[in-house]
Amino acid sequence: MTLMQWFVFILIIQVIHGLGTWKLYIKAGRQAWEAFVPVYNGVVLMKIINRPWWWIILLFLPIVNLIMLAVVWVETARSFGKNSSLDTFLAVVTLGFYNFYLNYITDVKYIENRSLHPKSASGDWTSSILFAIVAATIVHTYFIQPFTIPSSSLEKSLLVGDFLFVSKFHYGARVPMTTVGAPMVHDTIPLLHKKSYLFDDHKGSNSWKNKLQLPYLRIPGFEKIERNDIVVFNQPADTLLDMNDFHPDRNYYKPIDKKTNLVKRCVGIAGDSLEVRNGFVYINGKKNELPDRAHLQFSYFVQPKTSQFNPLFLKERYDITDGFGIINDQNTYYFSAISDEALANFKDNPNVLSITPNIQEKGVRDANIFPHDPNYDWNIDFFGPLYIPEKGKTIDINLKVLPLYKRVITEYEGNTLQVNGNQILINGKVATTYTFKQNYYWMMGDNRHNSIDARSWGFVPFDHVVGKPVFIWMSWDGKKPRWDRFFTTVSGEGKATSYLIPFLVILFGWIGFNKWRARKKNS
C-alpha cells in the first residue's frame, strides 16, 4: 500500500477502536469522543490501563506492534476486571474485538488502581519474555543486527565463521517494509523451515497479503557509503525461499527486506565509472586502492612435482583456506583462491613445479556475467567500463545501453518499459534520456574468482542496503575458536586488535564491584 492508503487504513482502525471502546472510556471517567481521536485516543487509553504514554510509539513500529497490540487488548480487558485465562485468550484470538463484547453486552466496572504485577510465576515469565522480545526486536531492526559470514568472498578481511554486529544507524535504519512477520528472524523460521513473513511470493501476485507492505522508508543516517566500505545488503536478484537452500522448487519473488542478506565490499559508488581489467578494479580510470586489511585473492592452476598437497599444511603454512583439487589426469590442481602474500611464499614450496593464473581472456563473453547480453563481451576478469547510476543524474538512453539499465528502470524504480523498433517507451512515452531516482553501488568480493557478486546481477540500489559491519564479537573456524579475532573491529588500519581481554576485565570488575556494594549495603 502507498502512504496515503496506509493513512486511510489507520483512520478506519481508529473508528473501529472508537466504536468498540467508547463506553469503556466513559466508565473510566473519560469522554466518549476521546475514543475516536487518532493518537490522542491511544494516549488516553494508556492512562486508562495505567501504562506509559510511550507505548503508543511501539504500536506504530512494524513487527513490534503485532506484539504490543495483543498486550494492549489484554491490558484493556484486565482494567475492567477480566483477568481469567479465558478472557486473555478471547482478547487475543478475536484480534481485540472482545472489547465490543465488554463495551456493549457486559456490565463491567473500571478498576482504577489495579495491580500491574502478574498474579502467577507463569504470568511473570510471559510478561518478561514478551518485553524482552520487544526490546530485542527494536535493537535488531533499528540499531544493531547480528550477522554470520557464510562464504569466503571477503576472505582474509572477514572469515567464514566470523560473527558480526552490523550497524543499521550508520547509513540510516530502514523501516521494515514487511509488516507481518516473526520478530528477529529473516526469511525462514529456524527449525520449522517455514517462511517467516506474510507475503505471496509468486511473480506478479495481486494477493491481499502483498497489500500489507509498507513503502520504502529510511531513518536518516550520519554516514554515506564510501568506496571500499564493507556493506551488508539484500541481494537484488534473490529468488530463494530459504537463504541456505540454493535449489528451490521455484523462483520466489520476495519483498526487498526479505531477500537474502549478503556482505561484500563496495568498490564503486554512485557516479563512478567502473572497469575491471585483468581482475583488478579501476574507478574513473584509476586502479582502486584497497585498505591494508583487504587481501585480493585469485584462482590458479598448480602443477606439483611429485606428491599431492595437504590441505591442513597449506592452511597452516601459507594461509590457503579455500578449496582446491585435481582437475585432470596430469595431476594439475585448481586452487580457487590464493592471496598475493600466500602466492609469494607458495611459489617456493619444493613440491611446486609451476603456478599459472586462471585469468579469462579479454573479449571472450561469459553468459553468466552482467548484463547477460550478447552485445557485451564481458567476463569475470575483463568488465566494463560501466557508469554507476547516481540519484538525480540523467543519461542518454538508447538500444545500446538499455541492457545495462533496463533492470534499474523497471525492477528497482518501478517504470514500465517497451521497445518499439528503435524507440524506447518508458511509462508509455518515447524516451531518449532517463533520470535516476536513487543511488546505486557496485558490490564485489575480494575473492575475485570465488565470489558471486555484482558481476553476476549488476547494481545494488540504496533501498537494498542493510547496514555496515562494525565489530566481530566471535569467530569460529569450524573446529575451534579464533581467539585473536574475538572483539575486533571490521574497519581500521593495520592488524586488527582484539579487545577481548579488556572486555573481560571490565565485565568481571563490574560484577565484583556490584557484589562488594551489595555486601556493604547489607552489613
Q: What is the pLDDT of residues 22-74, one digit of tens each?
A: 999 999 999 999 999 999 999 999 999 999 999 999 999 999 999 999 999 99
Tell me what pLDDT residue 120 has: 62
Instruction: Answer yes or no: is 121 within a domain.
Output: no
Annotated active-site residue 153? The verdict is yes
Tell me what pLDDT residue 246 has: 76
Question: Which DSSP helix (H) or strand (E) runs through 300?
Answer: strand 297-304
Final residue in a domain of this structure, among 66, 95, 116: 116
**pLDDT tens readout for residues 89-109:** 999 999 999 999 999 999 999
Query: In terms of DSSP H, where are the helices of 80-171?
Result: 85-93, 98-104, 121-142
Instruction: Answer yes or no: is 260 within a domain.
Output: no
85: pLDDT confidence band, cut at 50, 70 and 90? confident
Instruction: Answer yes or no: is 327 within a domain.
Output: yes
Tell me what pLDDT residue 522 has: 76
For the segment 491-520, the average pLDDT, to the nearest whole number, is 86
**Cα(80)–Cα(123) distance, integer angstroms:** 18
Residue 133's closest CA among 46, 64, 57?
64
Instruction: Answer yes or no: is 261 within a domain.
Output: no
**pLDDT tens readout for residues 272-307:** 999 999 999 999 999 999 998 899 999 999 999 887
More confident residue, 242 or 188: 188
Tell me what pLDDT residue 485 has: 92
C-alpha cell at 323: 578449496
Beta strand 297-304 with 280-283: parallel, antiparallel or unpaired?
unpaired
Final residue in a domain of this structure, among 308, 341, 357: 357
Tell me what pLDDT residue 187 has: 86
Residue 189 has pLDDT above 70, yes or no: yes
Annotated active-site residue 273? The verdict is no
Q: Read off φ and ψ for residue 251, nearest 5 degrees.
A: -80, 135
Instruction: Answer yes or no: is 107 within a domain.
Output: yes
Tell me what pLDDT residue 340 has: 92
- Per the CB < 8 A criterion, the answer to whether 91 and 74 are in contact is yes
Residue type, 2: T
Instruction: Answer yes or no: is 481 within a domain.
Output: no
**pLDDT tens readout for residues 460-469:** 999 999 999 9
Instruction: Check 264, 299, 451, 468 and give the catalytic one.
Output: 264
330: pLDDT confidence band, cut at 50, 70 and 90? confident
Our count of domains for the chain comes to 2
**Cα(192)–Cα(195) distance, integer angstroms:** 9
For the segment 310-322, the average pLDDT, to the nearest whole number, is 89
**Cα(10)–Cα(29) distance, integer angstroms:** 26
Q: Which residues pair with 280 in a beta bridge?
A: 277
Q: What is the DSSP letter of 197?
A: B
Instruction: Check 79, 82, 152, 153 and give the catalytic one.
Output: 153
For the segment 122-151, the average pLDDT, to the nearest whole number, is 86
Q: What is the DSSP letter of 47?
A: H
The angle that helices 3-27 and 40-48 make with each other, rounded to 10 degrees, is: 40
Tell me what pLDDT residue 414 has: 93
Final residue in a domain of this structure, among 89, 116, 143: 116
Instruction: Answer yes or no: is 32 within a domain.
Output: yes
**pLDDT tens readout for residues 356-392:** 999 999 999 999 999 999 999 999 999 989 999 999 9
Q: Return mean pLDDT, the chain.
A: 91
Tell me what pLDDT residue 151 has: 83
The domain of 328 spans 297-357
Query: Hunting for cell 550478447 — which residue is that?
Result: 374
**Cα(45)–Cα(508) distance, integer angstroms:** 44
User: Counting runs of H as helices and runs of E as strands, what totals does the chain give?
Assistant: 12, 23
For the segment 336-363, the average pLDDT, to the nearest whole number, is 92
Residue 188 has pLDDT above 90, yes or no: no
Tell me what pLDDT residue 123 has: 65
3: pLDDT confidence band, cut at 50, 70 and 90? confident
C-alpha cell at 120: 502467577
Beta strand 352-357 with 297-304: parallel, antiparallel or unpaired?
antiparallel
**% of the chain at pLDDT higher than 70:** 98
Residue 492's closest CA among 462, 467, 472?
472
Instruction: Answer yes or no: is 64 within a domain.
Output: yes
Among the ranges given (153-157, 273-277, 410-414), the one the predictor scored with the smallest mean pLDDT: 153-157
496: pLDDT confidence band, cut at 50, 70 and 90? confident
**Cα(366)–Cα(377) distance, integer angstroms:** 7
